[in-house]
Chains A and B, each alone.
Chain A
Amino acid sequence: MNGFSILRKHSFKNVLPLYESRFFSSTPAEATFETKPFKLHKLENGPSPTVTLSSEDAIKYYKQMQTIRRMETAAGNLYKEKIVRGFCHLYSGQEACAVGMKAMFRDTDSIITAYRAHGWTYLMGVDPFNVLSELTGHKSGSSRGKGGSMHMYAKNFYGGNGIVGAQVPLGTGIALAAKYSGTGGVCFTLYGDGAANQGQVFEAFNIAKLLDIPCVYVCENNGYGMGTSSSRASASVAYYTRGDYIPGIWVDGMDILAVREAARFAIDYCSSGKGPLVLETETYRYSGHSMSDPGTSYRTRDEVQEVRQTRDPITSFKEKIIGANLVNIDELTKIDSEIKAQIDDAVKRAKADTEIPLSELAGDVYSKPLETTIRGVSPFQSLEHMNIGPAVNLR
């Protein structure tokens, strides 16, 4: 969980970024890197493995990934303190997937994911304090504390779904709406390697292909469902090919730049009317499935450690951008401490925040309630329905 100590321990000397500085200054404005080759399914051409990165973006992505890592570490600690209850699925290890995709989002693009949603909530514009408040069940939470870890939402972000695979048809519908309304947007529809086997995924694929729905299906393959490795659950682990008639791309999900290029390609492909696309981002989750799972009975500690040391998305990115002189280590150290301060502060406030009043138990059951009285736990207890949220589709 603690990526920071690893960063410090790690040496940078084995990093050989393929970069060329455009300017002969000490910090070039941009540099070029080579990603692991993309694997293509039913595509002539894929994303470019040669990637250009500006120093501005380097800092932005680093900040975003590091913020997610810090936030998740904080979430895990809050869970251990029993302040976060129920489920708490951490995204640590998978940061590059989200940050890489988000980097290419236009205002018209949407996203839906499963329950591993904290990082995405932050990327879609919710302050870490409001994410953490949702986890502590407090009123400043993005769902006022009513949704918890698995159910967070924001503009163009449709959750946060706790039912494995259920978000895949939903994302297809969100993409259908984009096409229908002519927004030009696409919907990134995320699901895990475990979810990839759900029947409804294939039902959605088929319809999306038939109707040329601009949906980017992203299988975040972190190697495991709950305690089941991908190969024990999937007859084919080439998830990028499992759309069959839908073209697909395998992406190194630990490399934010590879993910970004794949997202660029996907947006271009889907919004040009070619129909859906499947991306498989191969990644890894460091923590157990949820916080209650120690995550060690079905994999070895060595395996986790090895990924942390050789493939960590933040460490490897840091090495790249320092090696290419896009940033210097002092800048990153400063960013690290700023993020630490920000998250520490957010944790403090999320803890101190309070719950919504009991009256909100009957809040927002309906956007247009036809009965204003709602039964409590007995006929002697009745609740008044309240409308609190904006009900964006009420018109």
Chain B
Amino acid sequence: MAFTISFHKSSVLTSTVKILKRSLNTTRVLANKQMTVRDALNSAMDDEMERDERVFILGEEVAMYDGAYKVSRGLYKKYGEKRVIDTPITEIGFAGIAVGAAMAGLRPICEFMTFNFSLQAIDHVINSAAKTFYMSAGMVNVPIVFRGPNGAAAGVAAQHSQCFGAWYSQCPGLKVISPYSSEDARGLLKAAIRDPDPVVFLENELLYGNQYPITDEVLDKDFVLPIGKAKIERKGDHITFVAHSKGVELALDAAKELSSVGIETEVINLRSLRPLDINTIIQSVVRTNHIISIEQGWPYAGIGSEIAAQIMESEAFYHLDAPVIRVTGADVPMPYTKSLEIAALPQINNIVDAAKKLLGV
């Protein structure tokens, strides 16, 4: 397909709408300590279980097996079978039970072994958890966290490799989080558990073992991050990359490569998919005039599509020198074949190429 939109520096439409200058949301990195994403999630649950007796975990293999991906390691030992509950492989059953318990005042953390299996339970996520507060005219809120690994893992083929970011973000009543680093994971999971509304918390199996620098502030038992706020991971003036989860890693790697040819990229880690921190995106675009969204999920009605649409509807549109570009997973189910799997997912070079095209270099 020939790409026919021209990328000339547009003479049109300099915005008249004022953009509020905000201080950029960058966390200072005192990179003395490291923590894996797995430990960040584990410690977040541990903190919150200690803090609030109503918090409990349920899911497949979460207790005696310590979690299929060892995210709940040690919690069964510490909190016992009342608060860390192994369920049978019956997603719609235990998700519904979790939602009911939340309706009646508990604070369940409902683990899906992977989010692929949340499809078995999606009715309770959408119809029971997301809508009850509205349907009850604000009477019954549902404080629950649905969490587990989301998105493509490696070599597990079509049924086990998909991103549900766009799926769940489409639904009003849900808050949807997709963390990247350990700081994200810890601060946002704690916030999610404390939040009075249903939160879908999308982790990534391939990030669990990654270590990221972490500050003392992050380790504090009262550390939480605001849901709905993006983080600028890297500052730059030439182009903006906006990504979530594993996509942030790709964006940062691509930014590094572009930097070596003199292109400075701003990388926004969305952290939260709903609410979407469109203001941070707009403010970045106003400076860089170029934006690429990066996600591993499918393009069709994806997170990038939503970002593009919201940009079109905002004054950032007038600051664009080129169309918004989405770099996404290919529009096919995930193949097992290794070379095809690579081709089905966005790679650093795809992002670098798209950026160069966009900037006309």
Cα distance A21–B121 when bound, in Å? 57
Chain A residues with Cβ below 8 Å from B120 are 163, 165, 198
Chain A residues with Cβ below 8 Å from B117 are 163-164
Q: Which residues from 1 to 41 on chain B have a C-beta closer than 8 Å to any C-beta of chain A?
A: 1, 3
- Whether the pair B86, A383 counts as a contact (CB closer than 8 A) is no
Contacts between chains A and B (CB distance < 8 A), count: 158
Cα distance A376–B68 when bound, in Å? 32
Chain B residues with Cβ below 8 Å from A232 are 64, 86
CB distance from A374 to the nearest CB of B (A): 5
Name the residue on A nearest B335 (C-beta): A146
> Among A148, A233, A365, A377, which residue has its beta carbon within 8 angstroms of that of B157?
A148
A376 with B330, Cβ < 8 A, contacts A85-B338, A86-B153, A137-B337 known: yes
Name the residue on B nearest A229 (C-beta): B64
- B326 adjacent to chain A (CB < 8 Å): yes
Cα distance A297–B73 when bound, in Å? 13
Name the residue on B nearest A165 (C-beta): B89
- Whether the pair A361, B156 counts as a contact (CB closer than 8 A) is no
Q: Which residues from 342 to 379 on chain A have a C-beta closer than 8 Å to any C-beta of chain B?
A: 355-356, 358, 360-362, 365, 373-379
- We find that the number of chain B residues with CB closer than 8 angstroms to chain A is 51
CB distance from A79 to the nearest CB of B (A): 10
Cα distance A233–B345 when bound, in Å? 37
CB distance from B114 to the nearest CB of A (A): 10
> Among A144, A361, A377, which residue has its beta carbon within 8 angstroms of that of B347?
A377
Chain A residues with Cβ below 8 Å from B60 are 225-226, 228
- Whether the pair A379, B3 counts as a contact (CB closer than 8 A) is yes
Chain B residues with Cβ below 8 Å from A128 are none
What sequence of 0s and 1s flags, for each residue 80-100 of chain B, a beta carbon within 8 Å of any chain A beta carbon? 000000101110110000000
- Whether the pair B336, A86 counts as a contact (CB closer than 8 A) is yes
What sequence of 0s and 1s flags, for each residue 75-92 of chain A, a beta carbon within 8 Å of any chain B beta carbon? 000000000011100000
Q: Which residues from 308 to 361 on chain B have a C-beta closer than 8 Å to any C-beta of chain A?
A: 325-333, 335-340, 343-347, 350, 353-354, 357
- Whether the pair A194, B159 counts as a contact (CB closer than 8 A) is no
> Among B68, B92, B300, B339, which residue has its beta carbon within 8 angstroms of that of A226?
B68
- Whether the pair B157, A147 counts as a contact (CB closer than 8 A) is yes
Cα distance A375–B305 when bound, in Å? 14
- We find that the number of chain A residues with CB closer than 8 angstroms to chain B is 50
CB distance from B301 to the nearest CB of A (A): 12
Cα distance A228–B113 when bound, in Å? 14
Name the residue on A nearest B353 (C-beta): A380
- Whether the pair B1, A297 counts as a contact (CB closer than 8 A) is no
- B65 adjacent to chain A (CB < 8 Å): yes
CB distance from A84 to the nearest CB of B (A): 8
- Whether the pair A360, B329 counts as a contact (CB closer than 8 A) is no
What sequence of 0s and 1s flags, for each residue 161-175 of chain A, a beta carbon within 8 Å of any chain B beta carbon? 111110000000000
- Whether the pair B354, A198 counts as a contact (CB closer than 8 A) is no
- Whether the pair B90, A150 counts as a contact (CB closer than 8 A) is no
- A275 adjacent to chain B (CB < 8 Å): no
- B221 adjacent to chain A (CB < 8 Å): no
- A298 adjacent to chain B (CB < 8 Å): yes
> Residues of A with Cβ closer than 8 Å to B?
85-87, 137, 143-151, 161-165, 194-195, 197-199, 225-228, 232-234, 297-298, 355-356, 358, 360-362, 365, 373-383
> Residues of B with Cβ closer than 8 Å to A?
1, 3, 60-61, 64-65, 68, 86, 88-90, 92-93, 116-117, 119-120, 153-160, 299-300, 325-333, 335-340, 343-347, 350, 353-354, 357
> Sorted from nearest, which 8 A-B pairs have the closest CB atoms?
A85-B155, A148-B336, A86-B155, A227-B65, A382-B1, A162-B159, A197-B88, A86-B156
